Amino acid sequence: MTEHLNAALKYSQDHSQENLGKMKEIIAIPSVSTDPERKEDIQNAAKWLEKELYDLGMTRVEIFPTPRHPIVYGENLKAGEDKPTALIYGHYDVQPEDPIGEWNTDPFTPTEAGENLFARGSSDMKGQVVACFSAVEAIMQTGDLPINIKFLIEGEEEIGGSYLEGFIKENKDLLACDFFLNPDTGMLGPDLPTITYALRGIAYFELRVQGPKQDLHSGTYGGVIHNPAQVMTDLLSGLHDDQGRVTLKGFYDKVIPLEAEERDELSRLPMVDKFYSDQAGVPKLWGEEGYTAVERAGARPTLEINGLYSGFIGEGQKTVLPAYAMAKVSTRLVADQDPAEVYEQFKSYLVENAPDTVTWQLDKLAGDFPSQSDRKSKWIEAYVNAAEAAWGVRPMFKRTGGSVPVVVHIQQALGVDSINIGFGLPSDNIHGPNEKIHLPTFYKGIEALIHFFFNL
Ligand SMILES: [Zn+2]
């Protein structure tokens, strides 16, 4: 086994130029999923993957059409039933290249400069897909696969409302696995391999407070009619207490508390308070008492007012008593909170606190569950050792404040944990102009994956 591992590592080092060439090939296909004029490019990217998966040695490869962009699937289960099965995720679509004028090179002509390769999709995430292919190739060209492998690569990650969720639910047997490998997250720095083990969920609302049937003269009606903008701000200001906690009844009931050991782990992250205040350009941070900024931004649930509208907001003055006020409010949730329950809690808050001088309506706009993986699972353990072998340091454990729906959908449908890793860096400009991938990190990522597959 060590012999095979060493042979695979050597193979990947000897073939670094071929691996880079493959990445350049897929990057050159402008598979922008939101652009209807790029439909053919999307198809071509899917076909490129199909061929690659065959060449790699997958024994079954299939393109599954969806009402929009196809899902590409490939598997090799020759290792046998007594060996673990990894489901490896990827997406072959990319964000639009706008604003095109701000690119220093053509976004779909991969261009090397120093240690970086510049192109749309290099870091998010064609580079990561090719890294997985390259690791599997190195292993298969030097011996047998030590585990079973399934690839699930979609073309709709960068558009809202992907058809992948339905596909996962309908194909539970096809996708059955022991764990989900999601390389669509990144590292904190070039020498800081990172495992993201928890993602927050979201519950998003629109609240409308209705007063008079139309805007009124504030001189005639002020003091007589309850101003809906005033009601709205009263209601919103009651959503946090003076310790920065959310006041919705039951909001924290299902929150898994942070243990001392996890807090120690999180305190290794290089994001101190000053990092956040410098990034945001604020004089001082704010938030729930008793928790560090890193903990508040990932391990604790939060509530934000995302937008607020009422009355006259044009230039100059208009003495109006507005007919209504509207607010967009969202909560970020952590395990084991439930977005539907948070909706009920918000509704109860309004029933209890809204005055009878107005009417109100609360609409649910979105809801996604949080997800959390066991940091001590054998799968994560295998990656910790793999990352240590490749980079020489123990990886960081990180929670992320945002949501990654596919991880939640997999957890719910297949009941397996995710290993969220990846080799993108914070400086990669993903979604922006001059996206790039750091090539030494890409090559080390391939080595880490090779170690990982053997560690399993
Ligand atoms: Zn991505």
Average pLDDT over residues 18-42: 97
Give me ligand 1 centre to Cα 156, in Å. 10
CATH number at residue 236: 3.30.70.360
DSSP 214-226: S-EEHHHHBTTB-
Contact (CB, 8 A) for 123 and 420: no
List the single range of 59-73, 123-137, 149-163, 333-347 with lowest mean pLDDT: 149-163
Our count of domains for the chain comes to 2
| Residue 62: closest CA among 75, 79, 80 | 75
Helix 39-56 to helix 127-140 angle, to the nearest 10 degrees? Answer: 20
The answer as to whether 262 is a domain residue is no
Give me ligand 1 centre to Cα 186, in Å. 10
The answer as to whether 109 is a domain residue is yes
The reply to whether 244 and 332 lie within a common domain is yes
pLDDT at 272 over 90: no
Give me ligand 1 centre to Cα 238, in Å. 37
Task: Grade residue 194 by pLDDT with cuts at 50, 70 and 90.
Answer: very high
Residue 94 per-residue DSSP state = B
Looking at residue 404, its pLDDT comes to 82
Looking at residue 273, its pLDDT comes to 87
The reply to whether 364 and 244 lie within a common domain is yes
The reply to whether 16 and 52 lie within a common domain is yes
Looking at residue 23, its pLDDT comes to 98
How many Cβ atoms sit within 10 Å of the Cβ of residue 311? 17
How many Cβ atoms sit within 10 Å of the Cβ of residue 27? 26
Percent of the chain with pLDDT over 90: 95
Looking at residue 402, its pLDDT comes to 83
The answer as to whether 51 is a domain residue is yes
Average pLDDT over residues 243-269: 96
Give me ligand 1 centre to Cα 384, in Å. 22
Contact (CB, 8 A) for 393 and 188: no
Give me ligand 1 centre to Cα 91, in Å. 7
List the single range of 33-42, 97-106, 227-236, 395-404 with lowest mean pLDDT: 395-404
Q: Phi and psi at residue 118, in whole multiples of 5°?
A: -95, 130
143 token code pair: 């011996």
Using one digit for the tens of pLDDT, what is the confidence trace for 346-375? 999 999 999 999 999 999 998 999 999 999
pTM of whole model > 0.75?
A: yes
Across 204-225, b (16+ Cβ under 10 Å) vs e yields: bbbbbbebbeebbebeeeeeeb
Task: Grade residue 151 by pLDDT with cuts at 50, 70 and 90.
Answer: very high
Looking at residue 271, its pLDDT comes to 85
Q: Cis omega (within 30 of 0) on the bond before 36? A: no
Looking at residue 279, its pLDDT comes to 86
Looking at residue 162, its pLDDT comes to 79
pLDDT at 328 over 80: yes
The reply to whether 222 and 324 lie within a common domain is yes
Looking at residue 401, its pLDDT comes to 87
Give me ligand 1 centre to Cα 158, in Å. 7
The reply to whether 340 and 378 lie within a common domain is no
309 token code pair: 């509208």
Q: Which structural domain range is residue 404 located in?
A: 2-199+370-455
Looking at residue 312, its pLDDT comes to 96
The reply to whether 382 and 423 lie within a common domain is yes
The answer as to whether 437 is a domain residue is yes
Give me ligand 1 centre to Cα 253, in Å. 32
3-state secondary structure (DSSP) of residue 327:
strand
The reply to whether 346 and 378 lie within a common domain is no
Q: How far is CA 341 from CA 219, 275, 323, 350, 413, in A?
A: 42, 34, 30, 14, 20
The reply to whether 87 and 132 lie within a common domain is yes
Give me ligand 1 centre to Cα 306, in Å. 24
Mean pLDDT of the chain: 96
356 token code pair: 């009878």
Among the candidates 318, 336, 368, a domain finishes at 368
The answer as to whether 126 is a domain residue is yes
The answer as to whether 286 is a domain residue is no
Give me ligand 1 centre to Cα 222, in Å. 52
Looking at residue 33, its pLDDT comes to 96
Give me ligand 1 centre to Cα 39, in Å. 19
Cα–Cα distance, 36 to 416 (Å, whole number): 35
Contact (CB, 8 A) for 451 and 1: no
The answer as to whether 243 is a domain residue is yes
DSSP 54-75: HHHT-SEEEEEP-SSS-EEEEE
Give me ligand 1 centre to Cα 17, in Å. 24
Average pLDDT over residues 88-107: 96
The reply to whether 45 and 138 lie within a common domain is yes
Looking at residue 160, its pLDDT comes to 73
Q: How far is CA 338 from CA 250, 253, 255, 270, in A?
A: 11, 11, 10, 30
The reply to whether 136 and 250 lie within a common domain is no
Longest dimension (CA), the chain: 88
Q: How far is CA 406 from CA 169, 370, 410, 417, in A?
A: 11, 11, 6, 12
Among the candidates 312, 345, 368, a domain finishes at 368
Using one digit for the tens of pLDDT, what is the confidence trace for 418-448? 999 999 999 999 999 999 999 999 999 999 9
Percent of the chain with pLDDT over 70: 100
**H or E element in which residue 438 lies:** strand 436-438
Cα–Cα distance, 309 to 207 (Å, whole number): 10
CATH number at residue 165: 3.40.630.10
| Residue 417: closest CA among 298, 311, 335, 327 | 335
Give me ligand 1 centre to Cα 168, in Å. 18
pLDDT at 1 over 80: no
The reply to whether 171 and 215 lie within a common domain is no
Average pLDDT over residues 152-173: 93
Give me ligand 1 centre to Cα 119, in Å. 14
Looking at residue 66, its pLDDT comes to 96
3-state secondary structure (DSSP) of residue 400:
strand
Looking at residue 220, its pLDDT comes to 97
Among the candidates 368, 392, 407, a domain finishes at 368
The reply to whether 211 and 194 lie within a common domain is no
Using one digit for the tens of pLDDT, what is the confidence trace for 42-87? 999 999 999 999 999 999 999 999 999 999 999 999 999 999 999 9
Q: What is the CA radius of gyration of the chain?
A: 25
Average pLDDT over residues 269-288: 92
161 token code pair: 């409302």
Cα–Cα distance, 162 to 159 (Å, whole number): 7
The answer as to whether 264 is a domain residue is no
Give me ligand 1 centre to Cα 93, in Å. 8
